[in-house]
Structure 1
Amino acid sequence: MNETNSQADPRAAEPVLDTPSRKLPMSRWQRVKFFIRAVEVRVRFIALFVVIGLVMAYWTTLEAYWDRWTRPATAAAADAADTEYYCPMHPTVVRPGLEPNGAVPNCPICGMPLSKRKKGEAPKLPEGVLARVQLSPHRVQLAGVETVEATYMPLVKEIRTVGYVGYDESRLAEIVARVSGYVESLHVDKTFASVDEGQPLAEVYSPDLYSGVQELLLAQKHGAGDLLASARRRLKLLGVDDAEIDQALEANDPASRLLIRSPLAGQVIEKNVTQGASIEQGAVLFKVADLSTVWIEADVFERDLPLISQGQQIEAVVDAASDRTFSGEVSVIYPEVNAQSRTGRIRVTVDNPELALRPGMFASVLIQTPVSRLEPFASAIASARQDPKSLSDEELIERQQFCPVTGLKLGAMGNPLKVTVNDRPVFICCASCETPLVEDSRQYLAKLAPPPEDAVLSVPEQAVIDTGRRKVVYVERAPGVFDGVEVELGPRAGSYYPVISGLAAGDKVAAAGSFLLDAETRLNPSAAAAYFGASGGGSSDDRSATQAAAAGRTATGDDDDAPLTDAQLKQLEKLPEEDRALATAQRLCPVTGEPLGSMGVPVKVTIDGEPVFLCCKSCERQARQQPAQTLEKVRALRGPVDRAAGDAATAAEHGVHQH
């Protein structure tokens, strides 16, 4: 039966083959490996849960560490990107950040650490500086800006006014009748007659005089000394002089007539009596004036009254003697001011020996007051002549006011530094000024020399901008850099102002074009931050300030093809003959782009054997740092100029060097 079944199902006799889905029994090693992998998976899950638990448990601590590691670095990076470093004394020096070692950069000019500021922040100007603007040499010439030095000058304040000639009241005399009587005769019967001292003017009959002489003679006759002296005094009170009394005693004749004499020499300016007239005691008979000295009374504006002192000399001119000048002395300054005219009156005593000045004349009065005699200049001059060693530090700082090296106000760079140079104490604004002060002490100490006795520090009138609230002067601190400085000035004397404070001797002030500089900062407030080195401007780390000047010049639209001006050509003419053609062909400085001659005589340097002309000495370093770019610009500027001239100049220079 089994055979029947096997024949009926032929698949039963076929062998059974292994399929992929069929599991074979694992060996011992496979079982061990499977166990290890199972344990590894479970341990991994356990470790993950442990880490999650630890993170949750110490989340606050981890967050604190994260802030410590990340936030300071982020803040420092943000701060570095938003700040820059600059030199307050030299605005052309700007660095974008710290040095590679993390140190604060130093100014390459003065050596002081640079100050930190935010980019876009308004520039921090030194103390006393109201505004700062910088112009390229080309723009300075276009604006006509010219500078002059503030120097000591013997200024004289002139006050011109008018007055009138009057009598000298101390030389006026009124002849008064001391007795009643009658005028028997007139010796001077005309007004304005000239009389001498003691000259008889009139003769008066008086009963009172007659009785007085009688008493005198009776006293003499009876030898009564007391009565004689009393009668003599009575007659003197009546106007009888000693000579007439003695004459009456000698003649023993009772006189009844009184001789009236002039008490001084002069002119009879008033006659109030006629011959035969009856007069009463106390009546004014004559007025006599001595015109050898007269008064001139003049009105002066109240603002000028402090400039006048008693005893001061003045000059006067009258139309009747216009070719003569009369000198006088201020004798009285009236202690009141006219409320309507706001003037005060002065009285001048003038000698008039030739009687050229007559009362009633109008006079042109000139009052000249040396400014050095006014306060506070007189005190400042006296203080400047004191020995610096005898002054305290505070007094010396107040007297010196400015650093002799930088010209900055003491205290603008921190506490002033005291140094001793040539056995003299001197204050400077910072430590970097000590070296140049010692090396060139003669030049800088000359700025601290006391002024002449009759001189004061002065600036031209056109250099002063009067805003109404303050007076501003623009000082050139560096080539093309002008600082608006508030100054305190004295009264204008001619075309100059005396300086009380705000400037130092030797400061270069803008005398011409100062109004344009002021208008630049007022009409365009951003111009005050447009100086090279101002916030937001080019950095001197990657390019020099002179390159920034060239960029600024291009931005202002200056024409690079503009021909050289006459002033610039005159500077080029000072070059040797063999260099003029090359400099004229080059025309512009390859560093700043400014016209050659705009900053003085061009500077000639040799780069890779080729002559190059620069606008100033400060461009040489930049030109030598980038010789290829400099030469490329020079060749482009010269264009198709005769190369033989350049080769000849180079050969000549090499020949000189070899020689």
Structure 2
Amino acid sequence: MNKNIVYIGIAVVVGLFSGWLIFGNIPNNGEAKAGVQVSPEEHDHSGERADEMWTCSMHPQIMRSEPGDCPICGMDLIPAEVGANGLLADQFALSENAMALANIETIVVGESNNTLEGGVVLSGKIEINGDKTAIQPAHFDGRIEKLYITSLGEKVRKGQAIAKVYSPELVAAQQELITAYKLKESQPQLYKAVQAKFKNWKVHGPELDEVVKTGKAKASFTIYSHVSGVVTEIAVSDGAHIMDGKAIFKVSNLNTVWADFDVYENQISQFKKGEQIQVTTNAYPNKVFNAKVSYIDPILNAQTRTVTLRAVLDNKDEIFKPGMFVKGKIGADTMDVESETTIPASAVLWTGKRSLVYVKSDLDKPIFEMREVTIGNRNGESVTIISGLDKGEKIVTNGTFTVDAAAQLQGKKSMMNRKSNKEEVRTNEIEIKVSEAFQNGFQNVVQPYLDMKDAFVASDAGQVSRSAKLTEEQFKNLNTTDSEKAYVAEILKLLNAIHENKIIEDQRTHFVVLNEILVPMAKNIPLSKNLFVQKCPMANSNKGAFWLSEEKEIRNPYYGQEMISCGSIIDDLK
């Protein structure tokens, strides 16, 4: 028995050894045949991919074919995510870290729109009740020596002293009053006529009695309010001349206020006077205020294509402040609402003729692509989509310019780049239309921008920072429309990044993206200075970069003295 066990054990050992001799050198790829030797070159366990790319966790637009340091922040490059490979031509990826840092937010189309629980939500603003407004006028000509009402929002009561006024007309009339008083017994009608004159001027009381009693004219008189309310407008100041009938200040009774909402042309038929409306405000998010539609403007605003819908709100508790933004919801039981596809206006990038959004191509991965859409009416903070998006698709609603910048730097289709990869992009393909007020204010931006460009030429990071700050301040002073605010917000972000960063290479990286917005904008604005659009084909990793200059001579801001003359004039902005 023991011998059998020994024999079996020996047989097992011999079998295992023989199996190892036969199969031990076969690779695990399942393709080699038994007994075939595989060379070390064919059997590589390194796991490295020949096409592996390296990127920066902070700046995902940086892609390199080998390890190294990020040219922007100096951090070690890390292997690019596997998901970045195999994308379609116009798709690009961002890392989760970049998504978080840029505060990129997305929504699913159809899950967030203006139609809520069968009702329609309108955007509006609290306005002063025009029916409860009164003017305190002057009743004679004169000069304000001391104005006692100096602050908007100040409460005024009837009979309150509001100003001390000097009036040559009153000085002369006082002499008449003194004389008429002396002749009162013999000519009572004359005395009454002079008194009536002062009464019409709203001048009476102790001051006038003192003039009669002392027989001496006063150089100035105190005037008193004959209206009560909250001061909403002051038309004069100390030393100002006043005229009979002209306003000194305006007051309003804020016990009731108007909530004015914008209704677009295609929505007008859905509303009628007397309907219930629920009003909410960010100041009191947990409160709903009920009111009725009291007025619908019969005249359409030709510029905005809207009419005003109004509700009167009780405000005895002073909850509502004029200028406060509110939302108004009208339920479906009062109207027939057709379902529409709407998205937040913040999701849309406007480039003149085109409206663009960024679609998250993969619902589970940060992969994006640009999509051109056709939009309809804008309703407050939302826009109606006519074509280009389907319900259920996910789009970027916050951080759209950051995503667009990533698309540009990765050579994909973007707001400033209608072509992708290595196709040439010309700035004259881009049209950014702005208002006349914006055009006028833009003139003040040009000089600090040119100073910043010259500082880049000199590679003076400190001066670049200071000039960027001055340019930023000028942009903040611009009067902007809703569509212009998106451009300006991104420009301000880039200028602030240039200002805050003290490393010239990093500043130049932001300057590239800044000019992608600024140059097309300048091309569509009549400028007071003759500027040239210049381009260096080697800048921006050989993708090319633009800048504006008032000189024909090329002085490259992206390389400074290293390649001062690299570039050419591609356009003349006359």
The interval holding the TM-score normalised by the smaller chain is 0.3 to 0.5
Larger-gyration structure (1/2): 1
Normalising by structure 2, report the TM-score.
Answer: 0.33
Normalising by structure 1, report the TM-score.
Answer: 0.29
Q: Which has the higher helix share?
A: 1
